[in-house]
Amino acid sequence: MKSAWTFALARLAGALAFAVVGGLVFGRVDLWLVGVLAGYLLLQFANLYRLHRWLKHRKEEDPPDLGGVWGDVVALVGRIYRRKNFHKRRIAQLLREFRRLTAAMPEGVILLSPEREIIWFNRTAAQLLGLRRKLDFGMRIENLIRQPEFTRYLESGPQASPVVVRYGPASDRFLTCQLIQAGEQLLLMVRDVTREARLEAMRKDFVANASHELRSPL
């Protein structure tokens, strides 16, 4: 880059020297200077136009063949564009891998924005919560899971302990929900604990009945 600027300054100095020599030989140094500088400025505008046109139609046109500083600018933009495409492909690959891994998880996974709007969810979350891909993207999660304990849990933040909510048409399903901070976004992990909840209820009923029978006279 430094050599390109040195070459550009040397070329400008050479053009001014040529104008001075031409003016001294043929007279009117001022007119020669104006003419040479105008030509030099038109050349820079032409290079700027070619660069601007290439930036607007970069996907359809090849980079212009420019020398000096303009050539360095084209090369720098090309490197930035290639790096951007590389990172875009890398992010897309990581996202596909993330979706493949979460699709195989037995837990439901829901990706939320900082405003708790649904960005993405896996198949298990759709089955547990009845989510629909084309309709529920962008919806706030508390508008879909209308449970007071779940809303209070969301307000407490990711540091709160997981909450168990009753969900389903007849509220016959027990789900445990855990909020995890993932950078600026949030992950909501959902797991079906209906069997464990029913076993716990049966245990409590058995203990209560046994205690009652033990306290009752023979």
Q: How far apart are CA 48 and CA 45, in angstroms?
A: 5
- Encode pLDDT of 154-175 as tens digits: 888 777 788 888 877 666 778 8
Q: Which pLDDT belongs to residue 147?
A: 83
One pLDDT digit (tens) per residue for the chain, 218 residues: 556 666 667 776 777 776 677 766 667 777 767 777 777 778 778 878 888 887 887 777 777 777 777 777 778 888 888 888 888 888 888 878 877 777 777 788 888 888 889 888 888 888 888 888 778 888 888 888 888 888 888 888 777 788 888 877 666 778 888 888 877 888 888 888 877 766 766 766 666 666 656 665 54
Cβ neighbours of 74 (radius 10 Å): 20
Q: How far apart are CA 212 and CA 193, in angstroms?
A: 28
> Which residue's structure tokens are 């909450």?
163
Does the predicted TM-score (pTM) go above 0.95?
no
Of 148, 171, 82, 155, nearest to 116 (Cα)? 155
Q: 163 has which bridge partners? A: 177
Of 190, 191, 187, 189, nearest to 116 (Cα)? 187
CA 62 and chain centroid, separation: 29
Q: Which pLDDT belongs to residue 218?
A: 47
Residues 68 and 58: beta-carbon distance below 8 Å? no
Q: How far apart are CA 136 and CA 108, in angstroms?
A: 15
Residues 15 and 80: beta-carbon distance below 8 Å? no
Q: What residue type is assigned to position 32 of the chain?
A: W
- The continuous run of DSSP H or E covering 111 comes out as strand 108-112
Q: 185 has which bridge partners? A: 182
